[in-house]
Amino acid sequence: MAAETLTKAHDSHAAVEDGSNWGGGKSPFNVSYGKLMMWYFLVSDAFTFSALLISYGTLRFSSPEWADPNKVFNAFPFLEGWDVPLGFVSLMTFILILSSVFVVRAVQEGHRMNKDGVLFWMFWGIVGGAAFLGCQAWEWMHLIHGGTTLWWNPYGPQAFGMLFFLITGFHGFHVFSGVVLNIIIWIQASQGVFHRRGHYEMVEKVGLYWHFVDLVWVFVFLAFYLL
């Protein structure tokens, strides 16, 4: 595996260095237009999320005290009254990572033109995304019942509630649209659209978006639950 990767990397670097890819007539990045544009969208979206998380950091730094995540996020469904700091959010993180992995597997099966494989793994990717959304709904409900609103919360400075709901909400909205896109892809794949087209690149493009959602969660998890 290592040898293959090396050869491929070597080839691509050589191609960039001697400029042969930049003479026109072929993609200098070796990707299609659609995939490149998905990447540029994700770069811009990364800056949107960065701005949100950095404003969270700024407000947090400006405040003499802050909510302790181990005390805010210590509830677990069906274990009422238990003190499980970070337990539920760890489960959510794991669900989202696995969902991302399932979609990578769908992309790989797409490279082999294996329609059943794509459908199988994409299905589990969708299930993972939906499970994550369910978990988030439960966590929101739990906090709201505990008195956390946009304007007030029992854990610390006023801004905590607003920032939490705004940022996890914006991420959750991305998860939701990702699940919708994955479902559309699943339906199209099941109807043989991509098979007739001769490639499963749509699975890759939507997959990129789905992994990006997972990537953002790494930093939301860092900012709200760990630091």
Q: Which residues bind another protein (CB under 8 A)?
A: 1, 4-5, 8-9, 12-13, 15-16, 21, 28-31, 36, 39, 42-43, 46-47, 50-51, 54-55, 57-64, 69-70, 85-86, 90, 93-94, 97-98, 100-101, 104-105, 108, 111-113, 198-199, 204, 208, 211-212, 214-215, 218-219, 221-222, 225-227
| One-character DSSP codes across 14-47 | HHHHTTGGGSSSS-TTSS-HHHHHHHHHHHHHHH
C-alpha distances in Å from residue 119, one per residue of 110, 176, 202, 221:
9, 19, 13, 30
Q: Smallest distance, Å, CB 87 to another protein? A: 8
- Residue matched to tokens 């890819």: 21
Task: Supply the minimum distance, in Å, between the C-beta of residue 120 and another protein.
Answer: 14
| Residue 5 CB, nearest approach to another protein (Å) | 7
> In whole angstroms, how close is the CB of 211 to another protein at the nearest point?
4
DSSP state of 153: -
Locus of tokens 């854990």 = 155
- C-beta of 144 vs 215, nearer to another protein: 215
Q: Give least dist CB 177 to another protein, A.
A: 18
Of the pair 130, 208, the CB lying nearest another protein is at 208
Beta carbon nearer to another protein, 63 or 190: 63
User: Please, which residue, 127 or 145, has the CB nearer to another protein?
Assistant: 127
**Which CB, 193 or 218, lies closer to another protein?**
218
Contacts of 87 (CB under 8 A, 6+ apart): 74, 76
Choice between 23 and 145, CB closer to another protein? 23
Shortest spacing between CB 52 and another protein, in angstroms:
12
Q: Are 200 and 107 in contact (CB under 8 A)?
A: yes
C-alpha–C-alpha distance, residues 14 and 22, integer Å = 12
Note whether 162 and 224 are within 8 A (CB).
no
State how far the alpha carbon of 49 is from the alpha carbons of 90, 109, 199, in Å: 21, 31, 32
